[in-house]
Each structure stands twice: as structure tokens, then as C-alpha cells.
Amino acid sequence: MAAKKIELGDFVSAINEAVSGVVIAIGEEITIESTEGFPIKFAPDELVVEPKKWLEAKDFQGLHHKKTQDKTATLRPKYTARPKTGTPPIIIDLHIEKLTKNHKKLEPWEILDFQMESARNQLEWAINKRKQRIIFIHGIGEGVLKAELETLFRRYDNIRFYPANAMEFGAGAIEVYRLQNSN
């Protein structure tokens, strides 16, 4: 039995990776939109067409849009369940260009160190001033700053942190909530 020729709109899976998606471009390489919504290029021999089973090809049109809608619908209750106060949160932007004008002269490790020192100082200030909610905007990158921030926040017993509301602050933000003292 001959392998089916890959066409636009086909649902395919990578042979050696746990990646699947819809074919969105065909050339020397085949570009798919993964089920996570990312375009990824593969050689034609690295992909296999999945049987349509109960889904039609048209059902995959807008797969990313539908998935985004589903995520938004499931995130809303999670976000509203978080503790809120009547006062607006303190917003701290940790993008290096917001922290210093001389960032072009800094090495990557110096930038991270500067961002972490700023975050630590701002967090201590907010705790001392009894601020209840703080939003740290770290941005979307390789995730190094986010991981370092989470490590920092875990060192404090009296705070909890969550992904901030993406619709309000973007995907690269963490909300820190200071717990009330029980004294």
C-alpha cells in the first residue's frame, strides 16, 4: 500500500516526535500548525498523514482559534477564584529597558542579575508596605527570568503566586498575593 501524498489541510503527525497538526504550507519542507498553535517545518519523510476517523478536514480549520477560545473559557473561572482586594495591584515591569537606560552594555547574566535584584527589592518594599497584590511582568522569552522569579517567590511563606490574567497583563506576567497575618 503506497503512502498517501500529504496535502494542505491534512492532519499529520511527526514520526520521531510527539507533534501533530494541520498542514498549512507545502514546499521543500512541509509546515504544519501544531495542535498548540505553533508553525513547525518538517521534511516530507518525517510526517505521516493521520486517518480522518470521525473528523473532517474542515473541522481542523481554525483549530488554533477554537483551542484558544477553549483555554480562555477555562481560564476565566480559575482567575476569578483567586483572592482579590478592592485596591489595584502594584505593577512592576521587569523588562530591562524599563529598568535601566544602559542595558545595551550589559551581558545576559548581568541583565538577569539586575532584573532579579529589582524584583527582590520591589517585593520586599511591597511586603513592608503591606501591599496585597503585586504583578511582575517578566515577558515571554526563554523562561529563565520566570523560573528565577518562581524560585524567589517560593522562599516566602506569606505569599502565593499565580499566572496573571493574560487578557489584562499579557502572557508573561505573574501575580503575587500577600497572605494576611493571622495575628
| Residue 4 grid coordinates | 498517501
pLDDT digits (tens, 9 = 90+) for 20-45: 888 999 989 999 888 777 888 898 88
According to the model, what pLDDT value does residue 93 have?
A: 92
How far apart are alpha carbons 127 and 125 in whole angstroms? Answer: 6
According to the model, what pLDDT value does residue 83 have?
A: 52
Strand order of the β-sheet with 47-49 is 39-42, 30-34, 20-26, 11-14, 47-49
Is the model's pLDDT at 80 over the cut of 50?
Answer: no
Domain 83-178 has CATH 3.40.50.800: no
According to the model, what pLDDT value does residue 119 have?
A: 93
How far apart are alpha carbons 69 and 119 in whole angstroms? Answer: 32
pLDDT digits (tens, 9 = 90+) for 140-160: 888 899 999 999 999 998 899
Mean pLDDT of 103-112: 89
Domain-wise residue ranges, the chain: 11-75, 83-178
